[in-house]
Amino acid sequence: MKAAGEKGWRNDAHAKVTGRTKYTDDLKFARLLHAAPVYCDFVHARILRVVTEEAARAPGVVRVLTAKDVPGSNRFGQIIRDYRIFADDKVRYNGDVVAMVVAETRDLAIRASALVRVEAEVLPAVLDPEEALLPGAPLVHESHGSNLVNTHRIRRGNVDEGFRRADFVVEEHFRTQSVEHAYMEPEVAVCAPRADGVIEVFGSMQHPFSTRRFVAACLGVPLSEVEVVGTPMGGGFGGKDDTAAIVCARAALAAKLLGQPVKLMYRRDWSIRESYKRHPYRVAYKMGVGSDGRITAVQCRIVADGGAYCSVTPWVTWRSTVQCCGPYVVENVHCDTLGVYTNNVVAGAMRGFGSPQMNFVVEQVVEMAAARLGITGVEFRRRNMVRQGSVTITGQTLDSHKVAMGEVLDAVLAETGYEEKLARCSHGRADGDELYGVGLAMSYRGVSLGAEGVDFCAAVINVQPDGSILLEVGIHENGQGAESAMSILAAEELGVDVGRIRYRRASTSTVPDSGTTVASRGTIMGGGAVTLAARELKRRMAEAVCGRLQCLAGAVRFEGGALLDPAGHRRVSFDEAIALMFATQHFPHVVGVFRAPKTTWDEHTGHGDAYFTWVYGCQAVELTVNKKTGRVRLLGAAAAHDVGRAVNPEMVRGQFFGGMAMATGYALHEEVRSKDGRITNPNLNTYRIPRSTDLPEMRAIIVENRDPHSPCGAKALGEPTNEILAPAIANAVFNATGRRQFSLPIKLSALPDEIAEEDCRL
């Protein structure tokens, strides 16, 4: 096994590269039954009857389940309990599941699922979020009283006064699209009843604890009767929270009722039809700028299409609100954000969580403002960006960590030769067919959940009598390398080789509920818990051996697999120290808990210390646009992010590249298309995620400023890397073509030789 610090170390790499890793669909169970969901063609309809008799009589079918079969709660939701395990009163979007067929084989289950009929009264569907807010619009949830899911606001300073002081105003409307996570592994769950009555859940999910909550509520049993077992998963990107939990709940229901293991393995087209997406946004944005190049005011209205159920729309839109001015100091802000129900596919968490949409807007508006002033976007950003001690638009003073905005910007400029390249951009005019452009974008991002939730994580270190170490952490391995990062941190803190540590994939029955592995919180929260657990273990070990080392417990050093006195004269090996503890029944079993520092929020004014720390990132891209075809070719991209501390550098680089790649899809290719509320591109041949040939060579610049709030020093990276390349591409396309991009994905057709004046909105 490779040691910590060696290139590329991952505890799971060997198993993955040899194909031996067992993902959920790879697990084998005796007497396994298979389930298939039943959809119907409706988009919005009142259900009169779900007719299952014919399907129930089909070959191999064991049972057909509907909402009537749910013994506990058929409704769930992390914020509003409006989502159904099975649609009962209404179909609210085309991905609603009305029933599930359980059969001896998957093929038989799928075949019989076509025999379930739904009798329903068709209702008018509302598919436009602005129309959904009009009086008289069809209501997606009648009991909610309107289609407004939630609002957020910021009221800071006096925007009227700010706009009066402005030398000019940039005002534009932007739209972003619905996109799919497209994790390579579709949703899947296998649930198996254990002899003691406990239902074991194996599945592809980011949130074992909320999955357990939903499964237990669905079955009407206590939490102790459901055990969600951490299972290797093929990617999540925020997308394996709510939908993944429902898939588990359905399989668990069948397993409980039938007393047999049941697998519910999603086909890709089911996954894209049913699973939640990144929210499409409509943003009206107005920025006032003074003659000194400083932003005097921002007014914006953000409308997020949340689709048919609430999911985490209030939280996603909260981040959009807090970060609605980008990383810039603005004293006068008026922001209204609305999350809206429609009959479109549900929208929820996706990598970025409300920031990619706003950065697409803000990072273009600042370039437009710069052009009006006759300065570069870089210069405009420097005049307005947050610095050490700056106050954010929500009134938070950035003084408790290193504000690295300028540092990451400088790093990208230096690495790419950006300003020299900027001077070579085509701006719509070139001798040949290829127009050349560079563009950049930057952001700051609040780390972890912030004031949207209670934020903590637990880790358990359980040293065995021979000195080998079992480590469990309440965060989940989504594919990012969390287990390896946790193991490295524990080894470093304890002064032992990482080979001594066996990461024990936690189950919900062994580790305290530590929340969900989202919000780029894995390393900072999990790593914090591991570091604190290791420190507590060291305290206990030091107490056990300080007599032999003839020094105070607090002075014992942990190095090279041993405990030493301050001068290094006396030494007790790690193994001996552990043996001594077992001999005296002072067991080396510790639980570490990291609680996030306090955050505050006033929902009425939009003021507060929204996040306990922030990260800073900047990305630049170089491209050509073909005049005749409009085809964009990416030539290169570079990114700098302050990660606090790079625990496992190769994996850190992987987050850079993966995030940037996903953002190129957001910018140029990806869009969940639908017609009358029905998705028309539900597989990977028509929903086009970036291929190797779509991407340029990418460079990762790791900036490290250890965060004082983070016990292990690390901050966040997964989402920051994914939130700014789309506006960088939009800016580069502008610098190449002279055309601004107000909607995503960017669609360019053939460009006329002379650019019409109205296209040149600066």
Q: Tell me if 499 contacts another protein by CB under 8 A.
A: no
Question: Could you tell me the smallest distance in angstroms from the CB atom of residue 315 to another protein?
Answer: 23
Q: Tell me if 690 contacts another protein by CB under 8 A.
A: yes
Closer residue to another protein (CB): 101 or 661: 661
Binding mask 368-407 vs another protein (x if CB under 8 A, - otherwise)? ----------------------------------------
Question: Could you tell me the smallest distance in angstroms from the CB atom of residue 440 to another protein?
Answer: 18
Smallest CA-to-CA distance from 337 within 139, 140, 520, 603 is with 603
Closer residue to another protein (CB): 30 or 454: 30
Tokens of residue 42, six digits: 């409706």
**Candidate list 675, 693, 753, 754; residue touching another protein; CB under 8 A:** 693
Binding mask 451-480 vs another protein (x if CB under 8 A, - otherwise)? ---------------------------xxx
Question: Could you tell me the smallest distance in angstroms from the CB atom of residue 64 to another protein?
Answer: 23
Closer residue to another protein (CB): 17 or 114: 17
Q: Tell me if 10 contacts another protein by CB under 8 A.
A: yes
Instruction: Report d(CA 452, CA 198) in Å as an integer.
Output: 33
**Candidate list 72, 95, 129, 186; residue touching another protein; CB under 8 A:** 186
Q: Residue holding tokens 């938070």?
A: 396
Q: Tell me if 18 contacts another protein by CB under 8 A.
A: yes
Closer residue to another protein (CB): 25 or 513: 25
Question: Could you tell me the smallest distance in angstroms from the CB atom of residue 149 to another protein?
Answer: 28
**Candidate list 692, 754, 757, 758; residue touching another protein; CB under 8 A:** 692
Any idea what the Cα angle at residue 511 is, between residues 509 and 515, rounded to 5°? 105
Residue type present at position 441: A
Closer residue to another protein (CB): 187 or 363: 187
**Candidate list 81, 165, 175, 268; residue touching another protein; CB under 8 A:** 268
**Candidate list 3, 5, 16, 600; residue touching another protein; CB under 8 A:** 16
**Candidate list 193, 203, 307, 481; residue touching another protein; CB under 8 A:** 481
Question: Could you tell me the smallest distance in angstroms from the CB atom of residue 409 to another protein?
Answer: 22
User: Who contacts 366 (Cβ-Cβ below 8 Å, separation ≥6)?
Assistant: 287, 326, 328, 377, 380, 381, 384
Binding mask 238-267 vs another protein (x if CB under 8 A, - otherwise)? -----------------------------x
Q: Which stretch binds another protein (CB under 8 A): 285-293, 404-412, 538-546, 658-666?
A: 658-666
Tally: H helices and E strands in the chain: 18, 30
**Candidate list 582, 657, 743, 762; residue touching another protein; CB under 8 A:** 657
Q: Tell me if 658 contacts another protein by CB under 8 A.
A: yes
Gyration radius of the chain over CA positions: 27
Instruction: Report d(CA 15, CA 30) in Å as an integer.
Output: 24
Q: Which stretch binds another protein (CB under 8 A): 454-462, 499-507, 592-600, 646-654?
A: 646-654
Closer residue to another protein (CB): 309 or 666: 666
Closer residue to another protein (CB): 118 or 662: 662
Q: Tell me if 19 contacts another protein by CB under 8 A.
A: yes
**Candidate list 3, 114, 134, 184; residue touching another protein; CB under 8 A:** 184
Q: Tell me if 183 contacts another protein by CB under 8 A.
A: yes
Instruction: Report d(CA 536, CA 337) in Å as an integer.
Output: 44
CB atoms within 10 A of CB 708: 13
**Candidate list 87, 99, 233, 403; residue touching another protein; CB under 8 A:** 233
Q: Which stretch binds another protein (CB under 8 A): 13-21, 207-215, 396-404, 514-522?
A: 13-21
**Looking at residue 712, what DSSP letter applies?**
T
Instruction: Report d(CA 85, CA 557) in Å as an integer.
Output: 54
CA distances from 324 to 283, 317, 357 (A): 10, 10, 10
**Candidate list 691, 708, 747, 752; residue touching another protein; CB under 8 A:** 691
Tokens of residue 255, six digits: 């397993």
Closer residue to another protein (CB): 235 or 561: 235
**Candidate list 326, 348, 354, 654; residue touching another protein; CB under 8 A:** 654
- Inter-residue contact 385 to 443 (CB < 8 Å): no
Question: Could you tell me the smallest distance in angstroms from the CB atom of residue 697 to another protein?
Answer: 7
Question: Could you tell me the smallest distance in angstroms from the CB atom of residue 129 to another protein?
Answer: 28
Closer residue to another protein (CB): 10 or 286: 10
Tokens of residue 133, six digits: 């807010």
Q: Tell me if 234 contacts another protein by CB under 8 A.
A: yes
Q: How many residues appear in the chain? A: 762
> What are the helix (H) ranges across 447-519?
482-494
Instruction: Report d(CA 179, CA 348) in Å as an integer.
Output: 11
Task: Strand 571-573: give its sheet, edge to edge.
Answer: 557-559, 562-564, 571-573
Q: Residue holding tokens 């894209």?
A: 272
Q: Tell me if 185 contacts another protein by CB under 8 A.
A: yes
Q: Tell me if 651 contacts another protein by CB under 8 A.
A: yes
Instruction: Report d(CA 486, CA 526) in Å as an integer.
Output: 7
Burial tier of 678 (Cβ tally within 10 Å: 0-12, 13-18, 19+): middle
Q: Chain centroid to CA 307: how far?
A: 18
Q: Tell me if 34 contacts another protein by CB under 8 A.
A: no
Closer residue to another protein (CB): 593 or 684: 684
Question: Could you tell me the smallest distance in angstroms from the CB atom of residue 724 to another protein?
Answer: 15
b/e 470-491 (16+ beta carbons within 10 angstroms → b):
ebbbbbbbbbbbbbbbbbbbbb
Q: Tell me if 660 contacts another protein by CB under 8 A.
A: yes
Smallest CA-to-CA distance from 144 within 90, 181, 85, 65 is with 90
3-class SS of residue 702:
strand
- Inter-residue contact 625 to 632 (CB < 8 Å): yes
Smallest CA-to-CA distance from 620 within 330, 378, 370 is with 378
Closer residue to another protein (CB): 210 or 721: 721
Task: Strand 456-463: give its sheet, edge to edge.
Answer: 501-503, 469-473, 456-463, 589-595
Q: Tell me if 30 contacts another protein by CB under 8 A.
A: no
**Candidate list 64, 549, 698, 714; residue touching another protein; CB under 8 A:** 698
Closer residue to another protein (CB): 23 or 742: 23
Residue 376, CB half-sphere, CA atoms under 13 Å: how many? 15
CA distances from 639 to 448, 618, 698 (A): 21, 6, 8
| DSSP per-residue letters across 90-111 | EE-STT---EEEEESSHHHHHH
**Candidate list 695, 755, 760, 762; residue touching another protein; CB under 8 A:** 695
Instruction: Report d(CA 720, CA 358) in Å as an integer.
Output: 13
Do the bridges between strand 614-626 and strand 632-642 make them parallel or antiparallel, or are there none, so unpaired? antiparallel
Instruction: Report d(CA 707, CA 19) in Å as an integer.
Output: 38
Q: Which residues bind another protein (CB under 8 A)?
A: 2, 7-8, 10, 12-23, 25-26, 28, 181-186, 232-235, 237, 267-268, 478-481, 650-651, 653-654, 656-662, 683-685, 689-693, 695, 697-698
